[in-house]
Amino acid sequence: MDEIKIKILPEDKEISSKKNKNLLEALIENGINIYADCGGQGVCGKCKVKVISGEFNTEESYLISSEEKKNNIVLACKTFPKTDIIIELIKELQVGYIQTIKENVSLCLQSEQENLEFLLKKQNLDLNPIIKFINLKLQKPTLEKPISDFENLLSCLSDKLKESRIFLNNFEILQNLSIQIRDYNWEYGVLVGEDITENFDTKSTRQNNYEILQVLPYKENKEFYGIALDIGTTTVSASLINLNDFVTIITKSAFNQQIVYGEDVITRIIYSDKEDGLRNLNQKIINTINQIIDSICFEKGILFKDIHTAVVAGNTTMIHILFNIAPKYIRIEPYIPTITFLPSLNAKQVGFNINPYGKIYSLPLVSSYIGGDIVSGVIATGIDLTSDISVLLDLGTNGEIVLGNSDFLVSAACSCGPAFEGVGITSGMRATVGAIEDIEFKDGGINYKVIGNTKPVGICGSGLIDIPAELFKTRIIDRSGKFIRDNKLYSKYIRENENGEFEFVIVKKEFTANNKDIVITESDIQNILRSKGAIFHGLHTLVKYLNLNFEDIKKVYIAGGFGCFLDINKAKILGLLPDIDEKKFVIAGNTSLTGAKMFLVSKKARKRAYEVARKMTYVDLSSLPMYMNEYTSSLFIPHTDFSLFPNVSKML
């Protein structure tokens, strides 16, 4: 018999699979998401499960410790059931939990509404949402004025939307229009969506275009919402906006479920080219988004049908996958995306759990590796509005850099991996309850701060910057990130693990919430150094390419989730950030999400987004000899060239 049964604990769920499929494939196909950073290649060690009973074949792996082997823990990607089997999932290796983001965490010291209102006023932007609900009171037709119902609607709507072209694509609206308007006694509401294609052509002189989306009952205070989404490679965040008063009601985030197919965009692009690969990736991101929307609606008592639009900002690969567009050629020279300016789509087409007649809009993309999330970040920070030279650093899985001002914008991308999101690190985790976010080594002891003031579970991005910086300051590691094992004060924290690798114990298991030691290994430190090196060297190369110096930069906006907790001085010691005046750094929070909200509520912001996308020049760093020749210099703490870090040198 080719089919086998797999019982999954603690969910007490049973699924069916083929014998020739490994456990990871079987779990993912049945909607059970566990980490597989390497895309199931057996090299990340994240897809561990415990086999309770049943016969199976599994490959030996150095990633499974002898203790784990005794307990029948295996890599799901390398394990093939031979009979019906019972397995137990390891809780911390599951993906997909949803987190409500606290206002002061998500936007760094300001509430979301204050932040949005502040930005709109500061940048002189209008309040003009991309979707409008317009109440109409029609004159009844008579024998003397026998105007058709649709012409009557258009005439009345044109009076409200002056100097606009109004059109209809959905023929279903006409089929019941006459019945509806009489049922509504000639007073009803019309939902219209802005046609953003007017922004595609710089030579266009067309007036505003609006599409009629839906005819609804007349209502003075209609429930009327929009969703702004930041679709990251590792994390997806969403804000619900009331489009009557423009208040941000709630923000939530969750892991991007695509992570089960790989940790970075390149791995996912490769996977998308497999049979059903693109469909699987698309379904994972749609599931992630819908789970967040479901959670928002349940918590706030809001109906799906009252959410009429969603604006998405994301990197180019994520946006292609979201709209089921093959991303294959993004990674093949000359690295060309299928599309950069996307038209709006119906929610029903995309699969979002909002009003099926609602519209989904995407911020414009720039190139294969500079997406709408970076365009969004530029309009959120206002780099394009000032003569001062500024930098936007997005410290996510894909490190992106923009340098420029109102005259020019130059961008670059450097793959720094998801280490700053806690992925691929032994004790790494997201910035949520239980994460060590701040750490200090003092007098032979370790002081740390945990999000939520609970027992720690792991280390989030800001802690992962702090730890190697502190290890270096206290001479526990050398400039290459290797442990100095004869350190008198801290040698007791250093040990050799089962894989023969040295690690530093941050918190012993008896003091953690999950009864596991929290450690950082030499491999973890190397991973962090590669990530920080990619960012710093990318920025340094871009500055030199434009014949500038770091001192010419007036502002450095740090975007990305963990930036809210980042210690600037420790980031400079590590060599992640340039050694310039600390006052020049601005912790900007999730600028991708903020820009998406601006795009949702302001026509001027939408216009600027397209201007920014057109103006921005992309530089392929890998094509510059200076980039490849000097990259290894940035893999040391803080750098091999201490003249780039004069203040850090004095401090040390």
Q: What is the per-residue pLDDT for 48?
A: 87
In this structure, which long-range contacts are made by residues 243-249, counting pairs with CB atoms below 8 Å and at least 24 apart in sequence? 243/129, 243/131, 243/133, 243/308, 243/600, 243/601, 246/113, 246/116, 246/117, 246/127, 246/129, 246/601, 247/113, 248/112, 248/113, 248/116, 248/597, 249/225, 249/296, 249/300
Calculate ∠ Cα 221-223-228, nearest 5°.
130
Mean pLDDT, 10 residues at a time, the chain of 652 residues:
83 83 85 72 81 88 81 89 87 56 41 68 90 92 92 93 88 92 92 89 74 86 89 92 92 88 89 94 96 94 95 97 97 94 94 95 96 97 96 88 97 84 82 87 92 90 93 94 90 90 94 92 94 93 94 94 82 95 92 96 95 96 81 92 89 75
Q: What is the per-residue pLDDT for 109?
A: 37
Query: Does residue 432 sit in helix, strand or coil?
Result: coil
Collect all residues with Cβ–Cβ distance below 8 Å to 261 and sequence separation of at least 6.
Answer: 28, 36, 39, 40, 267, 268, 271, 277, 280, 281, 284
pTM given for the model: 0.87
Q: What is the per-residue pLDDT for 205?
A: 59
277-288, pLDDT tens digit by residue? 999 999 999 999
Helix, strand counts (H, E) of the chain: 19, 30
Residue 263, CA distances (Å) to 145, 233, 298, 533 in order: 65, 8, 30, 19
Sign of the dihedral through C-alpha 132, 133, 139, 145: positive
Distance CA 421, CA 435 (A): 11
Distance CA 310, CA 229 (A): 7
Collect all residues with Cβ–Cβ distance below 8 Å to 253 and sequence separation of at least 6.
Answer: 98, 99, 101, 235, 236, 237, 238, 292, 561
Q: Is 290 exposed, middle or buried (0-12, 13-18, 19+ CB in 10 A)?
A: middle
Q: What is the per-residue pLDDT for 629?
A: 75
Put the strands of the sheet holding 445-450 in their side by side order: 445-450, 435-442, 458-459
Q: How many residues does the chain have?
A: 652
| 571 dihedral zone (left: phi>0; alpha: psi -120 to 50; beta) | alpha
Q: Which two tokens stand for residue 424?
A: 């691929």
**Domains within the chain, CATH numbers bracketed:** 3-93 (3.10.20.30), 98-103+224-362 (3.30.420.480), 125-217 (3.10.20.880), 372-418+528-651 (3.30.420), 421-521 (no CATH)
Neighbours of 35 (CB within 10 A): 23
- For helices 265-272 and 277-300, give the axis angle rounded to 10 degrees: 120
Q: Is residue 231 a contact partner of residue 285, using CB atoms and an 8 Å limit?
A: yes
Residue 640, CA distances (Å) to 281, 471, 622 in order: 41, 18, 20
Distance CA 157, CA 161 (A): 6
Q: What is the per-residue pLDDT for 93?
A: 55
Query: Does residue 169 sit in helix, strand or coil?
Result: coil
Distance CA 514, CA 365 (A): 42
Of the CA atoms within 13 Å of residue 299, those in its CB half-sphere come to 14
Distance CA 89, CA 75 (A): 11
